[in-house]
Amino acid sequence: MMFEAVIFDWDGTLANSMPAIVASFQTTLSEVGCKVPDEFLVRRIGIGARNMFKEALSSCGMSCDEKTVDGLLERKVRRHAELADKIELVDGAQELLDSLRPKVKMALATMSNREVISKLLKQKNLADHFDFVLTVDEVAKPKPNPEVFLKCAAQLNCQPERCVVVEDSVFGVDAAARANMKCIAVPSGAYSKEELALKHPDLIVDSLKEKRKILNYILGC
């Protein structure tokens, strides 16, 4: 079966953005005296910056009211955007996107903010590759809630079961399953192949460089 649409995650899946994300969080948290290990943040990438800030502040025994979080988010987004030049696509991402672009609809579903993603897509010459881009700014419930994927499917005018998601996190694999979509998992982010396998994705690849394997699954050829 050939799928009608492919929905990609960004952070850790298409882009090696982890260092920039962690740096922008740590700098912002340090201003309010909150210190957490980098690993604390890395393992939570994908649940949305607002939730990450709330969990970090809570772990430090600090207030995490919405006004405080709003201020932290604003500063974090600005710093993340400033680090855009240091973010590179993962190996195989460009080639895979180029191969899929003429054949299926494509969407980007990311828990990063619109300001950051718009800058990166323009910088990487990828803005025209996606038929639709949805960011954390446009969803009420971040992954593992399926909202982000279901909204993409609706915008692409595709039934969920005709969509396949490409993800690097356990939160994303969970969200895809809850959306009734198939999922290709790639251990290019914070989670190992073994950890992703426990979530039972439909296909696991070692990296996006396994282009032929991925294309065979998506295009049914």
What domains can you pick out in the chain, each with its CATH number? 5-17+87-219 (3.40.50.1000), 18-85 (1.10.150)
The arithmetic mean of pLDDT across residues 54-76, rounded, is 93
141: left (phi over 0), alpha (psi -120 to 50) or beta: beta
Task: Using the predicted structure, report yes or no on whether residue 221 has a pLDDT greater than 80.
Answer: no
Q: What is the pLDDT of residues 1-28, one digit of tens each?
A: 689 999 999 999 999 999 999 999 999 9
* Cβ contact 117:110 at 8 Å: yes
pLDDT value of residue 113:
87
* Cβ contact 92:210 at 8 Å: yes
Task: Using the predicted structure, report yes or no on whether residue 169 has a pLDDT greater than 80.
Answer: yes
List CB contacts of 100: < 8 A, sequence separation 6 or more: 6, 106, 215, 218
Count of Cβ atoms closer than 10 Å to residue 74 Cβ: 12
> Nearest 5 degrees, angle CA 173-CA 58-CA 35?
95
Q: Torsion angle, CA of 177/180/184/185, rounded to 10 degrees?
A: -10
pLDDT value of residue 1:
67
Q: What is the pLDDT of residues 81-128, one digit of tens each?
A: 899 888 999 999 999 999 999 999 999 999 888 989 999 999 999 999
